[in-house]
Amino acid sequence: MAVVLLWLVPAAVAAGPRQYSVPLTPRPTVVRGFDAPEHRWQAGHRGVDLAATTGAPVLAAGAGLVRFAGEVAGRPVVSIQHPDGVITTYEPVTPTVSPGDHVGRGDPIGTVLSGHPECPVAVCLHWGARLGAGRTARYLDPLGLIGAVRVRLKPVQPDS
């Protein structure tokens, strides 16, 4: 006998009508999944890598305000602040938006560049999501924003 536990994104993200969609079309293959470290200073993969082609349009996963469009550690990044407190990030992306721009879900925000480190295929878009910023930020699996959930099975001892 097993109990199925669903690990969902926070209620604020999961509640209500669908607010998010995949940032590439057609729906891409996930080539590297989310792997949150136990402690924030440890190595991990704080997002997912999606197979892409160089120059493919990158779409805003949800409506929001562009927080950042520029380089971080030599890599071009776009970050969007969404009304529910989630911040999504996209890299490497040549931005077509500027900080302060309002975007709707599915609006183009840039194009994919090649050169994402540790990408297991020719070209990847790294898509990340988090709640909050700085030391209090909590990284989320961005696939949870689009309704994908991780299912974990846990054995249950029979009643005595």
Q: Which domains does the chain have, with CATH numbers?
A: 2-155 (2.70.70.10)
Residue 88 and residue 128: Cα distance in Å, rounded? 5
Residues in the chain: 160
Q: Which residue has the tokens 């704080």?
A: 46
Q: How many other C-beta atoms lie within 10 A of the C-beta of residue 50? A: 28
> What one-letter code names the amino acid at 56?
A
Please give the DSSP secondary-structure letter assigned to residue 53: -
pTM: predicted TM-score of the whole model, two decimal places: 0.78
Alpha-carbon 153 to chain mean position: 25
107-147 pLDDT per residue, tens? 999 999 987 777 888 899 999 988 887 778 888 888 888 88
4-23 pLDDT per residue, tens? 223 333 434 444 567 999 99
Q: What percent of the chain has pLDDT over 70?
A: 74
Q: Is 142 helix (H, G, I), strand (E, B) or coil?
A: helix
